[in-house]
Amino acid sequence: MSIELHCPQCSKLIKAPDNAGGRYGKCPYCERRVYIPVPPEEREEIGVAPMDEAEEERERRLRQEAIALESALAHESPRPPAEGAAPRRGGPTREIAGDVVDLAGEVQRYLVSMRDSKLEQADAAAARLKRGGQRARDYVQGMMVDEMPLEIDKVPPPVVKGLLKSLLSRLEE
Backbone phi and psi for residue 124, each to the nearest 5 degrees, phi listed first? -65, -45
Contact indicator for 82, 98 with CB cutoff of 8 Å: no
Number of H helices and E strands in the chain, helices first, is: 5, 6
pTM metric for this prediction: 0.44
Question: Tens digit of pLDDT for each residue in 43-102?
Answer: 677 777 788 888 888 888 888 888 777 776 765 544 444 444 444 444 444 444 444 567
Q: Which residues contact 96 (CB under 8 A, 6 or more apart)?
A: 131, 132, 133
Q: Is 2 helix (H, G, I), strand (E, B) or coil?
A: strand
pLDDT at 143 over 90: no
Nearest to 101 by CA among 48, 138, 51, 47: 138
Residue ranges of domains in the chain: 2-42, 53-76+90-171
Q: For residues 4 and 47, give the distance between their C-alpha atoms in angstroms, rounded to a whole number.
A: 27
